[in-house]
Amino acid sequence: MRLSRRTASLSVAVALVLTLGYEAVPHARVPADDERERVAPFGAACRIRVDDSRVTAYCHNPYPEPDRVSLHVECARWWDIDTDSSPMEAGPAQTVRIEGRCWKEVGDAWVSHRRAS
């Protein structure tokens, strides 16, 4: 019996795969109902605006769980004092405004999020 070129190539490919080993790729896992509750969506959407030395953040929480947000302002000058605001609670469907400032230029500004206990 004579093997065709295609059959021989296929045999070599199968032998190569078996020799090198096969790593199974896991399928996507759908979380159980109790896991979905634990990883519920969380976190207010925040917009930050910088005007000269003043920073204003507007945070809107579209989720049913409250979010405690804080504004952090890093000033550009080494002698200017960086500030962190007190945490403010953004309840469900609530928008909060947080303000901060530097004496001179603002280097960076961001908002941190924490789940309310």
Taking only the tens place, the pLDDT of each residue in 91-101 is 999 999 999 99
CB neighbours of 93 closer than 8 A, spacing ≥ 6? 61, 62
Residue position matching structure tokens 């962190």 = 84
| Residue-level pLDDT at 110 | 96
pTM assigned to the model: 0.65
For residue 54, pLDDT beyond 70: yes
102/73 Cα distance (integer angstroms): 8
User: What is the DSSP code string of 26-71?
Assistant: PPP-PPPHHHHHHT-----EEEEEEETTEEEEEEEE-SSS-EEEEE
Mean pLDDT across 91-112 = 96
